[in-house]
Amino acid sequence: MLLLASLCVASLVSVQALDNGLALTPPMGWLNWERFRCNIDCENFPNDCIREELFMQMADIIASEGYKDAGYEYVNIDDCWLAEERDANGRLQPDPDRFPSGIPALAKYIHGKGLKIGIYQDFGVKTCGGYPGSEFYMPVDAQTFADWQIDYVKFDGCNSDVRDFDEGYTVMSRFLNLTGRPMVFSCEWPDYQTRQGIEPNYTAIRSACNLWRNHDDIQDSWQSLLGIINFYGEDTYNFSSYAGPGGWNDPDMVIVGDFGLSYDQQRVQMAMWAIMASPMLMSVDLRHIRPESKALLQNRNVLSINQDPMGIQGKRIMEINPVQIWTRPISPKGTFAVAFLNPSEGGMPSTLSVVVDDLGLTNGSGYNVTETFDGVSMGTVKPGQNITISVNPEGVYLFTATPL
Ligand code: GLA
C-alpha cells in the first residue's frame, strides 16, 4: 500500500526540495507534550487534560501576554487528541468528549487570535500513545489536515519500521504539498534512525521536512537538557550543516518555566537554542509561569539570535575544561553570537580568558561586544586581545561580537 501510494505520488510530483515556503526561520510556538503529556483524565484534571480548552487558553495568553509580539506563532497539539477509531469514512476524528467542537472550530479560534494551529500524527499504524496512526492513510490524513485548516503537522515514528522512513516521510511530505495548503512538516525521522544505528540521510530529510528531531525526547531536567546540548556539540554526521532557511534541526521543546531547571539553567536553554538555531516550541503552563521565566522566553535579544535570517546553526568550537565555547555566525555579516556554557556543578563561577582570534574573531578593526540577555555593552576588542568571561555553574554567558 505504502509503495503503491509512493509510486502514484512520484508520477505526479518531481520536485526534490521542500517548496512550501515555510519556516524560513526556526518555528516558534507552543506544544503541549513535555508539560501536559497524555493526560486524558479530564474528570480529575479538568485544567490540565488534553482538551480543546487547554489550547484555547494557551492561544489567549500567547496573543495577549506578549508572546505573539515576541514571535511565537504556532499553537500545537501533540499526541492523545484522537478518538480511538477513525470515522466510518476512514477519516481521523478527535476524541468527542475532549474536543466536542471539532478541530476546524479550534483552528478557527486559534486563527482568530492571529495565530496558527499544529497537530500531531504518526507514520506508523498507531501513534506513540496508541491512537490511530497514518500508515495506509497518508493521503486522506494529509487532506483532512488541509480541510481542517491546519498549519503545522508533527509526524512521529512509533509503531513502524524505521527502514521505511526514507520513503514514507518523503511521501507524506508530498501528500501535504499536494493539498495546496502550506503546512510546516515536523519530522522525527533521524531521531528514530540514529537510535537504531542508522546514519540518517540528512539531504533527503531536508528535502522533505521543515524541522526534524535528531535526538531523545526532552524531559524536565538539567540532565536531559545537557544530554541534548552535548549531542549537538558532538554533531555526529555533521548534521548542523543541514540547517538553514526552510529546514531546521530540532532539539525538542523549550522547558523554561517548568519544574526542573534553575534560573541559570533556563538561561542555558534559551542561549543554546539561540546558538543552535533551534525551533522554539515552549512546553509550559503559560497560565502559571514565573515572571522571570516569562521574561526569558520573551527576551528579544536572545530571540533575535535564534531567528537570525541567515539561519546558520552554531557549533561547539572548543572546550576549556569545564567550559564549552559555541559560536554562531549571524547578521550583519561578520557578526558572531558566542556562548560560554559552564556545565559544572562547582559552587563558584568559572572565569576564563580567551584570545579572541581563537573564537574566530579576526576582523582587524575589532568588534563591539555586547552581553545578550541584558543588552549591556562590554566595550570593544581587537584580534590579539583577550576576552575574559565569568560564567556561573550550570549557567551560560552569551554575547555578540559585531565588527567595527
Ligand atoms: C514521542 C515523541 C514525543 C511525543 C510523544 C507522544 O515520544 O518523540 O515528542 O510526541 O511521542 O506520544
Tens-digit pLDDT profile for residues 273-297: 999 999 999 999 999 999 999 999 9
Angle among Cα 56, 60, 65 to the nearest 5 degrees reads 150
φ, ψ for residue 242, nearest 5 deg:
-85, -10
DSSP H or E stretch at residue 273: helix 263-275
Give Cα separations from 63 to 156, 169, 280 (angstroms). 28, 32, 16
- Check residue 283 and give left, alpha or beta (phi > 0: left; psi -120 to 50: alpha): beta
Say whether 79 is catalytic.
Answer: no
- Given this model, what pLDDT does residue 19 score? 80
- Given this model, what pLDDT does residue 18 score? 78
- Given this model, what pLDDT does residue 6 score? 40
Helix (H, G, I), strand (E, B) or coil at 125: coil
Q: What is the CA radius of gyration of the chain?
A: 22
Helix (H, G, I), strand (E, B) or coil at 103: helix
Residue that has been written with the C-alpha cell 503529556 in this structure: 37
**What are 337's strand-pairing partners?**
328, 400
Ranges of the chain whose pLDDT falls below 50: 1-17
Strand order in the sheet with 323-330: 315-320, 323-330, 335-342, 395-403, 367-371, 377-381
Q: Which three cell numbers stand for residue 57?
A: 487558553
- Which protein residue has the closest C-alpha to ligand 1 atom 9? 217
- Which protein residue has the closest C-alpha to ligand 1 atom 6? 79
- Cα separation, 211 vs 186, in Å, equals 5
φ, ψ for residue 342, nearest 5 deg:
-110, 100
- Cα separation, 190 vs 201, in Å, equals 8
Q: Which three cell numbers stand for residue 154?
A: 508533527
- Given this model, what pLDDT does residue 312 score? 98
Summary count for the chain: helices (H), strands (E): 13, 16
Give the binding-site residues of ligand 1, using a 6 Å CB cut-off.
33, 78-79, 128-129, 156, 188, 217
Q: If 0-12 CB within 10 Å is exposed, 13-18 middle and 19+ buried, where does residue 376 land?
A: exposed
Q: Which three cell numbers stand for residue 62?
A: 500567547
For residue 338, the CA-to-ligand 1 centroid distance in Å is 31
**What are 353's strand-pairing partners?**
388
- Cα separation, 223 vs 225, in Å, equals 6
- Which protein residue has the closest C-alpha to ligand 1 atom 3? 217
Say whether 220 is catalytic.
Answer: no
- Given this model, what pLDDT does residue 5 score? 42
Report the amino acid identity of residue 237: Y
Report the amino acid identity of residue 213: R
DSSP 281: E
For residue 122, the CA-to-ligand 1 centroid distance in Å is 9
Q: If 0-12 CB within 10 Å is exposed, 13-18 middle and 19+ buried, where does residue 358 land?
A: middle
Choose one of 30, 34, 79 to mutate for the ligand 1 pocket test, by most ligand atoms within 8 angstroms of C-beta: 79
